[in-house]
Each structure stands twice: as C-alpha cells, then as structure tokens.
C-alpha cells in the first residue's frame, strides 16, 4: 500500500507533472509505454475480445482465410488496441508474434517490403523496451527452437536420458530454451542434419537455402547475414560463403520479388507446422498517396490472406478514409476479405472517461489504480463534462487537461506546444529517440530513405527543385535552379549488397552525367551496406562516376536515424496525430503548410542535422556541374 499524498501535496505534484499534458500514447512496439499510463480495458473491449478470439481461431485453424479491419478516427484508440495486441502476444496460449508495419513506399516491391518487415519484427523480442534493448527470446528463435524440439523428441522418444527429458520439458514452455543450454557445436550440427532428414520431406516448398539461412541464426557470427538473407537482401559473396549459400546470380528487382514470395511462403509453411502465427498490424495508411501504392497494398493483402496461413493481417483505417478513398480503389476480393471482420472503435462512456482520468492521476501520483480517487476533480463536474455523448479517449484527456488548468491555475504545466513548430520539434525528437534506440527495426530501406529525400528536395531551403519520379536505379530526377542557373540532377539511393546491382546504379549515374553538358548526380548509401574494396569492377565504376562530377553521400548511423525519424514523423503528421494548441486554446492537428515550413527551416538551420552531408554534396554537384570533381570514396567497413 502506497502512502497516499494529501490534497495539498497532490496539487503540488500535479502542477509539476501534469498527466494530461500529452495525448500521445507512444510507440505501440515499445514495452516501456505499457508502464506510462495504466490501460482502461473496458474501452473498445468488444473489438479487442473479438480480435483476440479470431487470433485464437487462426492459431487453431490456420488454413482458414480471413483478415481484420479496424476503423477509428484519430484518438479513438487504434494505437492502444495495437499495444494491447502486442501484450496479448506474450500471454496467449499458444503465443503469437506481433509485427507493426508502416505504409509501403515502393509499389514495385510490395512482397520484398512485406518480407523484410515481417522477418525484422520476428528477429526482435516483442517485450523489449526501446530504452534498454533487452527482452526475452525473439519469435524467430522460438520457431527455430520448435524445429529442434521436434527432432529431439523424435530421436529420444522411447527412453530419453534424464537431462534431455528435462530440456524437452523446458522447451515445451519456451522452445528457445535450447539456446541457453551448453550444447556443443557438434551436437547442433548433427541436429541440423537430422532436421533436414526428418522435417524437410513434410515441407517441400522450403528450399535448402532457406534451411541453411534459418540454421545460421543460432551462430552469432552468422546471425546478421542469415537474418538479412531471410529478409530478402542480396548478400555480399563473403557473407554468402560464410553462411554456406551460393551467391545470388541475378540482382534484378523482378527476381527479388519472386524470391520474396518464395521466402514468405516458406516462412508461413514452417510457422504453420508449429502453430506459430503472426499478427501483422498495418497502420497510418493515410500515407498511401498514389494509385500504384494502393494497388501494391491490395496485392499484399490478397497474398497474405490467400497464400500465407501463418499471417493474420489487422488493418487500421480512419473511417472516412476507408469509405471515401480506399474502398473504391481496391479490388472487390480484397474489400470483401477486409470487411468480413470489420470493427468500428467507439468513444468512452461517462464511466470509462472517469476511469481514464483516474488512471492518469494514479500514474502521476504514484498510486495503484484502485487506490486513486478523482481529486482534485469534482466527480459531479466530470460526470457532467462527459455526459453529452461518446467522447474519444483523446478528447477525454484534452477536456481533463482543460479542467485541471482551471483547477490549478496558471502554474500548471501547459496543455501542449502553443506553436506548430514546437510541437513538431518535440515529436521529431521523440521519433529520433525511438529510431536510435531500436535501430534494428530500421534495416536499410530505399523507400523510407526516398521519402525523406523527397521531403528534402521539395522543401529545399535555398534552391528550387522541380522534382520528377525516377526510374529503376534512379529515385528522383530534378531540375535544380539557384541564382538563375538550372542544372538537371539525378539522385540515387542504393542499399543493395550485390556487386551487379551496385554497379548498375553507378552506370545509371554515369549515363546521366554524360547525357548532359551540365549535370549533377548524387549517390546515397546506408553505411550498413558498405562497398567492399575487393569489388574492383564496381570501384572502377564508382571512380568514373566521381571523375565526371558525381557526389557520394555515406549515411552513418546518426544521419540515417534522422532520415528514418523524419519519415516516421511524416507518417504521423499525415495521419493527424501531431497536435498543437491553437489561438483559442484548443488542440488541433498540425496543418500541412506548417509541416512543410518546419521541414524547410529545421533542415536549413541544422536542427535536423542528418541532411548536412547531403546538402553539401548537392551544392557541390550543382557548383561543379560540367567540371570534373575531385574523387571521393565510400570506404568499406
């Protein structure tokens, strides 16, 4: 029992720590957010219970084909619902894995994107807190442990030694337990052989290469390369050799999509055998801006539902967006699948609104929820404030904050940023911290880097960039105008780890530079995919690109974090999730024009520092267009 602070002490604490100052619920993937404010389970309980039952049904009968659609406006609890599903993933019997998937950017590679996001989520514990990088075993380890357990149980079925019998019991509760036991490499290698002999015949759609990569996950020195291959990355020859895989003979995007479908199918077949399913939550779909992106999303949904029994997609839309925009752009088969299990989130009853207020007060005052009362709020005043209808949880927090301001006077913490730029800067800092703390969830991603690059180009603080869509190796073309001079420029983002693909990117940059009397080109690469010095032909192309005036930008971790954070923030702004306090003292979503002004000024004055190298490269390419540039290099690490 916690000592209950007196009334004067409560007021003092609430002046210093206002639990209603923010309506943000944080990242649904961050287990630390679970402790921020206690949940009010009764809010949207019917939808949660129905989805929970559908998950159990999918685990029991994975061959049944269905999806889930959640409709709710901003603040009605979609993020809370997803966080509850993530927590449920650890408590369910059997447990399921949880993946949070943001909008697709590259409509040409929907299956590659789906594979990368799914496997990236499977490789990270769902109970890990972003600020400590710890947690239990990852779902992919539990899957591999289940494979080993089947082999061990089959091999010692009649008379298991006592030590092995104890291990089997432990693995039934946690399949990944085997990796915490001192089993020698020789025993593992023997088990790997028996896995292929015993299990492979039952799963004919899983290739030898997939098994090899999967087994590589248990070796610390192979794990990164194994996870990258499972995510669809083209491996460097040295990494492929380390894993025991043949080098990829074809780096073409179409081949990558075919390979992604095969790996998705293999993963689903393996998970289905061991009753392990994944709930894939798709959120912030307001950011599907082009018809091509919408069609790519539809193809992904169709393949998930009809072709991958281990996957249960949960798709979140704002109601107006679904009815007025997306419903008529998707094919009828996808619409039927989604609307078969459609859940509309609802607002709070007066009792639930009071429970939200009580839970936030309890957190601020360091009390158990059942110890807290509503003081300093008047219960009758609260009941009256929320008696008019079903308020969203977001509106409840906003109204409670307004009432607390009146009760405590001007000394209370303000309701929120009173300027859109302050709200956006605070939100960017939050996104940056989340991306930096959980960088593993942000593998090199051409689409998201491209989104950040487009924002930089279209909102450039000093040059007028007339941006056009690129082509295969080129992300964007633009006519850059500065001081009355216009230079055609090409921007290439390359994250590939295959020498053929990297060489083709440089060739395209060379062709652009040679095709104009004055031209600029910038090559951008995430330094987690360095170009090895041993790629002599590729390095020769790079030197040629640079002799012609091409510029290279090597995104180190700090810069890449800024790029990914800006993209994440763009998704949130487009979804209407970032608020400021307007002239009437009312919270309101940041409007698009203020968002554009923020991006332009924050890049210009260095508050978003990760674009400084890019800006120097752009200005150098512009100034040196038509003249040879001093060669730079992207060093292998």
Distance (Å, rounded) from C-alpha 581 to C-alpha 588?
A: 6
pLDDT at 406: 83
Distance (Å, rounded) from C-alpha 480 to C-alpha 501?
A: 27
Query: What would the pLDDT profile of 359-404 be if each residue is shown by its tens digit?
Result: 888 888 887 766 678 888 888 888 888 887 678 888 888 888 888 8
DSSP class of residue 528 equals T
**Length of the chain as a residue count:** 637
pLDDT at 68: 96
Mean pLDDT of 270-289: 91
Q: What pLDDT band is residue 163 in, cutting at 50, 70 and 90?
A: low
Mean pLDDT of 563-591: 84
Most confident of 28-37, 337-346, 459-468: 337-346
* 307, 555, 624 from 324: Cα distances, Å: 28, 39, 48
Mean pLDDT of 30-51: 77
Residue 386, both tokens = 């929320």
Listed range (32-46, 252-266, 511-525) with the worst mean pLDDT? 32-46
- Contact status, residue 276 vs residue 139, Cβ threshold 8 Å: yes
* 101, 163, 327, 497, 532 from 557: Cα distances, Å: 22, 45, 39, 17, 18
Query: What would the pLDDT profile of 596-634 be if each residue is shown by its tens digit?
Result: 999 999 998 889 999 999 999 988 887 776 555 444 444
Q: What pLDDT band is residue 148 in, cutting at 50, 70 and 90?
A: confident
Distance (Å, rounded) from C-alpha 613 to C-alpha 525?
A: 12
Instruction: List alpha helices for 548-606, DSSP H.
Output: 557-574, 592-604
Q: Is the pLDDT of residue 247 over 50?
A: yes
DSSP bridge pairs for 587: 581
Indicate the angle between helix axes 420-437 and 592-604, nearest 10 degrees. Answer: 70
- Contact status, residue 416 vs residue 22, Cβ threshold 8 Å: yes
Q: What pLDDT band is residue 26 in, cutting at 50, 70 and 90?
A: low
The residues, ordered by sequence, that sit 6+ positions from 144 with a Cβ below 8 Å of its Cβ are 175, 176, 214, 215, 217, 218
The residues, ordered by sequence, that sit 6+ positions from 380 with a Cβ below 8 Å of its Cβ are none
| Cis? peptide before 376, omega within 30° of 0 | yes
- Contact status, residue 125 vs residue 102, Cβ threshold 8 Å: no
Mean pLDDT of 43-57: 93
Query: At 475, phi and psi to the nearest 5?
Result: -80, -45
Listed range (50-64, 145-159, 228-242, 324-338) with the worst mean pLDDT? 145-159
Q: Is the pLDDT of residue 438 over 90?
A: no
Burial 70-103 (b: 16+ CB within 10 A, else e): bbbbbbbbbbbbbbbbbbbbbebeebbbbbbbbb
- Contact status, residue 556 vs residue 392, Cβ threshold 8 Å: no
State what percent of residues in the chain have pLDDT above 90: 35
pLDDT at 153: 77
Mean per-residue pLDDT over the chain, rounded:
83
Q: Is the pLDDT of residue 581 over 60?
A: yes
Residue 526, both tokens = 């995430």
Q: Please give, one letter per residue, the 3-state secondary structure of 595-632.
A: HHHHHHHHHHCCCCHHHHHHHHHHHHHHHCCCCCCCCC
- Burial of residue 299, with CB atoms counted within 10 A of its CB: 0-12 exposed, 13-18 middle, 19 or more buried: middle
Instruction: Please compute, for residue 454, the number of CA atoms within 13 A of its CA located in the half-sphere on the CB side.
Output: 16
Q: In terms of DSSP bridges, do strands 68-71 and 311-317 run parallel, antiparallel, or are they unpaired?
A: parallel
CB atoms within 10 A of CB 511: 13
DSSP bridge pairs for 474: 471
- Contact status, residue 465 vs residue 457, Cβ threshold 8 Å: yes
Mean pLDDT of 195-207: 87
Q: In terms of DSSP bridges, do strands 68-71 and 342-344 run parallel, antiparallel, or are they unpaired?
A: parallel
DSSP 351-411: HHHHHHHHHHHHHHTT--GGG---TTS-HHHHHHHT-SS-B-HHHHHHHHHHHHHHHHGGG
Residue 417, both tokens = 């940023």
Q: What pLDDT band is residue 588 in, cutting at 50, 70 and 90?
A: confident
CA 48 to centroid of chain Cα atoms: 22
Query: What would the pLDDT profile of 103-137 be if each residue is shown by its tens digit?
Result: 898 888 899 999 999 999 898 875 554 444 444 57
- Contact status, residue 237 vs residue 497, Cβ threshold 8 Å: no
Mean pLDDT of 545-550: 92
The strand order across the sheet containing 464-471 reads 464-471, 474-482, 485-493, 520-526, 551-555
Q: Is the pLDDT of residue 284 over 80?
A: yes
Mean pLDDT of 199-207: 90
Helix (H) or strand (E) segment spanning residue 342:
strand 342-344
pLDDT at 437: 83
State what percent of residues in the chain have pLDDT above 70: 85
Angle at the Cα of 61 from the Cα atoms of 231 and 282, rounded to 5 degrees: 45
Mean pLDDT of 428-436: 90
Helix (H) or strand (E) segment spanning residue 195:
helix 185-199
Distance (Å, rounded) from C-alpha 625 to C-alpha 520?
A: 5
The residues, ordered by sequence, that sit 6+ positions from 148 with a Cβ below 8 Å of its Cβ are 171, 175, 178, 191, 195
DSSP bridge pairs for 479: 466, 488
Distance (Å, rounded) from C-alpha 119 to C-alpha 308?
A: 14
Nearest to 446 by CA among 550, 528, 391: 528
The residues, ordered by sequence, that sit 6+ positions from 491 with a Cβ below 8 Å of its Cβ are 453, 457, 470, 474, 475, 476, 477, 478, 521, 522, 524
Distance (Å, rounded) from C-alpha 253 to C-alpha 110?
A: 11
- Contact status, residue 29 vs residue 128, Cβ threshold 8 Å: no
* 27, 310, 354, 572 from 31: Cα distances, Å: 9, 24, 25, 20
Distance (Å, rounded) from C-alpha 350 to C-alpha 387?
A: 6
pTM of the model: 0.84
């Amino acid at each position: 029992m916690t000592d209950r602070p007196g009334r004067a002490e409560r007021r003092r604490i609430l002046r210093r720590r206002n639990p209603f100052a923010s309506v943000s619920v944080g990242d649904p993937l961050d287990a630390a957010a679970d402790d921020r404010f206690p949940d009010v389970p009764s809010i949207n309980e019917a939808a949660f219970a129905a989805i929970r039952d559908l998950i159990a049904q999918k685990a029991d009968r994975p061959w049944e084909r269905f999806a889930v659609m959640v409709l709710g406006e901003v603040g009605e609890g979609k993020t809370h619902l997803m966080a509850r599903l993530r927590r449920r993933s650890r408590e369910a019997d059997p447990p399921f894995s949880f993946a949070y998937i943001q909008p697709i950017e590259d409509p040409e590679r929907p299956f590659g994107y789906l594979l990368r996001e799914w496997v990236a989520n499977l490789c990270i514990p769902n109970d890990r807190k972003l600020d400590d990088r710890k947690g239990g075993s990852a779902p992919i380890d539990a899957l591999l442990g289940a494979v080993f357990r089947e082999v061990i149980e089959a091999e010692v079925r009649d008379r298991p030694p006592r030590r092995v019998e104890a291990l089997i019991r432990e693995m039934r509760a946690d399949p990944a337990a085997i990796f915490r036991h001192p089993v020698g490499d020789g025993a593992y290698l023997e088990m790997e052989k028996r896995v292929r002999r015993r299990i492979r015949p039952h799963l004919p759609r899983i290739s030898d290469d997939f098994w090899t990569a999967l087994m590589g996950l248990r070796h610390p020195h192979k794990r990164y390369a194994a996870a990258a291959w499972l995510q669809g990355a083209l491996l460097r020859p040295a990494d492929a050799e380390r894993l025991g895989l043949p080098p990829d003979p074809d780096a073409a995007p179409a081949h990558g999509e075919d390979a992604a479908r095969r790996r998705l199918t293999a993963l689903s077949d393996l998970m289905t055998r061991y009753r392990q399913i994944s709930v894939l939550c798709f959120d912030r779909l307001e950011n599907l801006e082009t018809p091509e992106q919408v069609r790519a999303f539809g193809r992904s949904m169709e393949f998930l539902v009809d072709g991958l029994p281990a996957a249960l997609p949960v798709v979140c839309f704002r109601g107006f967006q679904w009815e007025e925009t997306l419903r008529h752009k998707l094919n009828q088969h996808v619409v039927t699948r989604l609307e078969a299990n459609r859940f509309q989130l609802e607002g709070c009853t007066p009792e639930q609104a009071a429970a939200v207020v009580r839970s936030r007060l309890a957190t601020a005052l360091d009390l158990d929820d059942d110890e807290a009362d509503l003081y300093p709020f008047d219960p009758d005043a609260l009941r009256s404030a929320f008696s008019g209808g079903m308020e969203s949880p977001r509106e409840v927090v906003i109204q409670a904050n307004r009432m607390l301001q009146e009760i405590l006077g001007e000394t209370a913490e303000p309701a929120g940023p009173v300027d859109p730029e302050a709200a956006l800067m605070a939100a960017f800092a939050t996104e940056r911290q989340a991306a930096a703390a959980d960088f593993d969830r942000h593998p090199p991603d051409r689409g998201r880097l491209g989104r950040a690059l487009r924002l930089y180009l279209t909102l450039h603080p000093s040059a007028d960039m007339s941006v056009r869509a690129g082509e295969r190796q080129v992300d964007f073309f633009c006519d850059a105008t500065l001081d009355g001079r216009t230079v055609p420029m090409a921007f290439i983002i390359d994250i590939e780890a295959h020498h053929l693909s990297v060489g083709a990117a440089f060739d395209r940059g060379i062709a652009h530079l040679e095709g104009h009397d004055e031209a600029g080109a910038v090559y951008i690469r995430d330094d987690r995919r360095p170009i090895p010095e041993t790629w002599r032909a590729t390095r020769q192309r790079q030197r040629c690109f640079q002799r012609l005036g091409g510029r290279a930008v090597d995104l180190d971790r700090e810069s890449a974090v800024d790029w990914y954070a800006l993209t994440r923030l763009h998704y949130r702004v487009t979804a209407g999730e970032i608020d400021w306090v307007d002239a009437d003292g009312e919270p309101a979503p940041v409007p698009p024009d203020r968002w554009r002004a923020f991006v332009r000024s924050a890049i210009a004055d260095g508050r978003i520092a990760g674009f400084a190298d890019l800006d120097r490269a752009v200005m150098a390419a512009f100034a040196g267009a038509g003249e040879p540039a001093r060669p730079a290099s992207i060093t292998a690490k």
